[in-house]
Amino acid sequence: MNKLKMSVLGVALLSVVGCGGETKEVIKEVEVVKIVEVIKEVIVEVEKVDRKQKTGIVLSIDDGVSLPFLLENEYLFDKYGAKGTYFVSGFNHGMSQDLIDLQDRGWEIGLHTQNHYNAVEYVAEHSAALWLQDEVKKPLKNMSLYGLEVDSFAYPFGIHSLETDMQLKPYFKTVRGFGGSINMDYSEGFYEDGYFYFGVSVDSLWLYEEALFAAMETAKEKGLTLVLGMHVISEDHDTDYKISPEDLEKILSHASSIGLDFLQMRDLGY
Ligand SMILES: [Zn+2]
């Protein structure tokens, strides 16, 4: 890319040096128009290379408690050819085989810490080093011993700081925050800086179908990535952090009907 930029500048310089009479002035103007066009093309290419944006939707599911519900409803994802990212907390031997099987079926397994503590509070009360050691590095090591390949991280409660983001950087390709849509606006799910991504909640309590569908259409039209977060897939589980299978299917079906690709967190990041 630098080479191309240099050659463009070279042409510009030659045309300036060579312009003595009227005829040459005209040639120079034509050259300049061409150069501007080339530079514009170069800028567009640079933006594409730098941003590496992907058009699609990420369906991410958080928490250890959600695992059996995800397995029970995996057929819904399969029906639409969708694979998502499952962020496990409280990793233990008992769930390892289910996670390996999920991974083998094309799901991404990410880390959601060992004990689901608020990262910022934990760091303030103890230290960043202790949080990293106990909540991140320890489960990461255990998961890798079972053959799980973990590239992505999601913050418990979506709470993070620049300090925790930086602590995680050597271990993950992307980290994900989380929060409900504000005023039924799902555009927060487009927020990213190539490392930190915001996952907007689609748990049923915070789900506004029309606004979500509009955001999905914007993702498709503008070539953006929309990151969504959800928890237990169940109608009646005793928590607010749940999405009904019906609501989940509406999201899957709409994405599929507008031709929006299903991505995973490991597909993002640059
Ligand atoms: Zn969580």
Cβ(239)–Cβ(69) under 8 Å? no
Give the β-pairing of 56-62 and 85-88.
parallel
Distance CA 100, CA 120 (A): 30
Q: Rounded to the nearest whole angstrom, what is the distance from the C-alpha of residue 155 to the centroid of ligand 1? A: 7
Q: What is the CATH number of domain 56-267?
A: 3.20.20.370
270 residues of the chain, pLDDT tens digit each: 343 343 333 333 333 333 444 445 555 555 555 655 655 565 555 554 455 689 999 999 999 999 999 999 999 999 999 999 999 999 999 999 999 999 999 999 999 999 999 999 999 999 999 999 999 999 999 999 999 999 999 999 999 999 999 999 999 999 999 999 888 899 999 999 999 999 999 999 989 999 999 999 999 999 999 999 999 999 999 889 999 999 999 999 999 999 999 999 999 999
Question: Which pLDDT score is estimated for 103?
Answer: 98
Q: Rounded to the nearest whole angstrom, what is the distance from the C-alpha of residue 176 to the centroid of ligand 1? A: 11
Token output for 148: 């799980």
Q: Rounded to the nearest whole angstrom, what is the distance from the C-alpha of residue 238 to the centroid of ligand 1? A: 15
Q: Rounded to the nearest whole angstrom, what is the distance from the C-alpha of residue 2 to the centroid of ligand 1? A: 44
Nearest CA among 221, 209, 222 for reference residue 251? 209
Cβ(171)–Cβ(136) under 8 Å? yes
Distance CA 123, CA 43 (A): 42
DSSP string, 216-259: HHHHHHHT-EEEEEE-EE-SS-SSSSEE-HHHHHHHHHHHHHTT
Token output for 163: 């300090």
50: Cα separation from own chain's centroid: 16
Q: Rounded to the nearest whole angstrom, what is the distance from the C-alpha of residue 166 to the centroid of ligand 1? A: 20
Q: Quickly count: other Cβ atoms within 10 Å of residue 197's Cβ.
A: 25
Domain ranges of the chain: 3-50, 56-267
DSSP state of 135: I
Q: Rounded to the nearest whole angstrom, what is the distance from the C-alpha of residue 117 to the centroid of ligand 1? A: 9
Q: Rounded to the nearest whole angstrom, what is the distance from the C-alpha of residue 18 to the centroid of ligand 1? A: 66
Q: Rounded to the nearest whole angstrom, what is the distance from the C-alpha of residue 43 to the centroid of ligand 1? A: 40
Three-state DSSP at 92 gives coil
Q: Rounded to the nearest whole angstrom, what is the distance from the C-alpha of residue 11 to the centroid of ligand 1? A: 57
Give the CA dihedral 91, 97, 100, 106, nearest 10 degrees: -110
Q: Rounded to the nearest whole angstrom, what is the distance from the C-alpha of residue 197 to the centroid of ligand 1? A: 15
Distance CA 109, CA 106 (A): 9
Question: Which pLDDT score is estimated for 181?
Answer: 86
Give the β-pairing of 56-62 and 225-230.
parallel
DSSP string, 42-80: HHHHHHHHHH----EEEEEEE-GGGHHHHHHTHHHHHHT
The residues with which 263 forms a beta bridge, in sequence order, are: 58
Q: Would you say the pTM of this structure is higher than 0.85?
A: no
266 Cβ partners below 8 Å, 6+ apart?
85, 108, 110, 151, 152, 173, 174
Nearest CA among 266, 106, 256 for reference residue 197? 266
